């Protein structure tokens, strides 16, 4: 019971720091944010911050890694079967996540370090692509596949960034339909070889 109470306190403290960092990232560039800024915004002392993180980069990395983990879970659950439409459900899950977490997504995707996140997401996508290609008897390590992964990842990231920058003027459904139309032929090239 005591451990559970402490776990809740740790979770609450981390959530306060995350929220503070997200607010600060809307106010100024990440490179100008310090642990002192985060703790002042969260109304915590700096010792509390350093119990959990070595610096603000570690806090941001943890936030990025959780998004990457969610993306990996989405891809893991997705069954890619030949002849079946699978792109739309995947895009739907991604759009749902963005709609449910716009503040977090804005902070992670609309800042100078967003290429790091794109790289992490691309690597997860590559792993899934290799697995599907291998299951289908297609060379999982073809040079073309690497280019396709990069094209999809950075193209999708660009679309999402613009959607967030503009305040998400397209509905979730409009965004899904547009993304599917753009990515379906490319994704088919990837999984069919």
Q: State the pTM of this model.
A: 0.78
pLDDT tens-digit series, residues 118-135: 778 878 877 777 777 777
Q: How many helices (H) and strands (E) does the chain have?
A: 9, 0
Please name the residues in contact with 113: beta carbons below 8 A apart, sequence gap of 6 or more: 30, 60
Of the candidates 88, 78, 162, 58, the residue with the CA atom closest to the CA atom of residue 125: 78
Distances (CA, A) of 69 to 8, 21, 35, 97: 21, 20, 25, 12
Domain residue ranges of the chain, discontinuous segments joined by +: 1-53, 60-192
pLDDT higher at 81 or 63: 63
Share of the chain above pLDDT 90, in %: 32
Domain 60-192 belongs in CATH node 1.10.357? yes
pLDDT grade, residue 38 (50/70/90)? very high
**Residues 46-52: what's their mean pLDDT?**
94
Q: Which long-range contacts (CB under 8 A, 24 or more apart) does 109-113 make?
A: 109/157, 109/160, 109/161, 109/164, 110/161, 110/164, 110/165, 111/25, 111/29, 111/30, 112/29, 112/30, 112/31, 113/30, 113/60
Q: What span, in angstroms and rounded, lies between the C-alpha atoms of 171 and 7?
A: 37
Region 1-53: CATH code: 1.10.10.60
Sign of CA dihedral 146, 151, 152, 157: positive
């Amino acid at each position: 019971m005591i451990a559970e109470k402490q776990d809740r306190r740790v979770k609450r403290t981390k959530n306060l720091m995350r929220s503070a960092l997200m607010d600060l990232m809307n106010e100024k560039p990440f490179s100008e944010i310090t642990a002192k800024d985060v703790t002042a915004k969260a109304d915590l002392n700096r010792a509390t911050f350093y119990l959990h993180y070595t610096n603000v980069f570690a806090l941001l990395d943890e936030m990025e890694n959780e998004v990457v983990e969610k993306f990996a879970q989405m891809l893991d659950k997705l069954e890619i079967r030949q002849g079946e439409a699978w792109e739309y459900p995947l895009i739907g899950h991604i759009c749902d996540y963005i709609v449910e977490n716009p503040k977090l997504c804005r902070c992670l995707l609309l800042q100078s370090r967003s290429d790091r996140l794109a790289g992490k997401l691309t690597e997860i996508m590559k792993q899934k692509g290799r697995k599907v290609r291998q299951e289908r008897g297609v060379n999982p390590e073809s040079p073309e596949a690497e280019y396709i992964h990069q094209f999809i990842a950075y193209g999708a990231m660009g679309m999402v960034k613009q959607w967030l920058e503009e305040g998400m003027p397209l509905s979730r459904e409009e965004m899904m339909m547009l993304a599917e139309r753009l990515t379906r032929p490319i994704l088919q090239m990837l999984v069919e070889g």
